[in-house]
Amino acid sequence: MLKAFQVAPLSNELDDDIQHKIDFKTKPPGSLGGLESIAFQVARIQRTLAPKLERAQMLVFAADHGAVDKGISAFPQEVTPQMVTNFLAGGAAVSVFCKQHNVALKVVDVGVKVDMPDHPLLSKRKVAYASQDFSEQAALTLDEVNQALAAGAEEVDACQEVDLLLFGEMGIGNTGVSSCMMSAMTGQTPEQTSGRGTGLDELGVSKKAQIIAGALKRAEQALNKPMGEWAPWEVATQVGGLEILAMSGAMLRAAELSKPFVVDGFICTVALLFASKLQSAVTDYAIFAHQSDEQAHQALLQHFKAEPILKLNLRLGEGSGAILSYPIIKSAVVFFNEMASFESAGVTNAT
């Protein structure tokens, strides 16, 4: 019932050669730590001993959420189009970091509540003018879910010359939607998955958890089964968000094309969680940028057995953590390709 993707697990054919190349650089084995793991992963994804990261693309997916009217965010819904405008004008955090690192930025409107004016950096793929309020009814139709997945996939198809994809999001209320999706997929309680988002106080977080709990109970009654038995399409239709699902589609398509992609923070990791319910091998292609300050993100990273590159207590979203990790990922590939080996440098190896 959902758009089909076919993601191949990574081959281990070159594993020994990749590890040998890493180990015989002019350094003690393992001394470059996480850089070695990143280099190994990129070489494995690209199936080569000469991986390249010459061109990267940041895709920020934007949408609104009906449940915002219930109070799941500290900010009003009109901030979504305002921030999209800020991205396009170059004033947002992700904008300035992309400019700093010479990474192209595109904003993809899959569900902003208003029509955005044309802009060279804006891709108009609106599926709906926001999702429905999931505390009262299903958030999305199945057709809308598939359109969102397809929109993400098609944006990746437009990046054929890109070696690395970075994903981000914008949508007031999407931390709450992500918490709801995480609870539905993992069984963790709303109290465990709900965090401060854009700046809720303790009372606000408690209220958000109550709204999510009510939405999950409503959906269980509508589907006539407990959330532990929901199929992925039921999670998506009942409590999903358009920009989150579009990121899932983008991740799945990137993996189909054997392109590594960078996972930002909590919301982006929930998108990966959903993608992994459709094709488990998608996680092989994911590089985890950072551990955010959103309380449930650490549990998600542990679920994936992931070692994020950074821990800076970020909770901004936008893809900000992903772009901050980018120069480190580039450095991993540079050392793999350009650092001398003991043999080439005439340096005596350890015995």
Active site residue 318: yes
Instruction: Tell me which of 155, 243, 318, 343 is the catalytic residue.
Output: 318
C-beta atoms surrounding 186 within 10 Å: 18
C-beta atoms surrounding 123 within 10 Å: 18
For residue 4, which amino acid is it? A
Q: 157 by DSSP, 3-state: which?
A: helix
Q: How far is residue 178's CA from residue 176's CA, in Å, rounded to a whole number?
A: 5
User: Residue 20, Cα to own-chain centre: how many angstroms?
Assistant: 31
Q: 348 by DSSP, 3-state: which?
A: coil
Q: Whole-angstrom distance between the N-terminal and C-terminal Cα of the chain?
A: 58
For tokens 């009510």, name the residue.
Answer: 214
Q: Which residue, among 212, 210, 280, has the nearest Cα to 241 in the 3D structure? A: 212
Q: How far is residue 213's CA from residue 204's CA, in Å, rounded to a whole number?
A: 14
- 130 torsion bin: left (phi>0), alpha (psi -120 to 50), beta (else): left
Contacts of 332 (CB under 8 A, 6+ apart): 34, 35, 36, 38, 39, 42
Which ranges in the chain belong to alpha helices (H)? 15-23, 34-46, 79-89, 93-100, 142-157, 174-186, 190-193, 202-223, 232-239, 242-256, 266-278, 297-303, 320-338, 342-345
For residue 123, which phi and psi values (nearest 5 degrees)?
-105, 120
Here the tokens at position 38 are 């990143």
Decide: 3 and 149 in contact? Cβ < 8 Å. yes
Q: So which residues are the catalytic ones?
A: 318
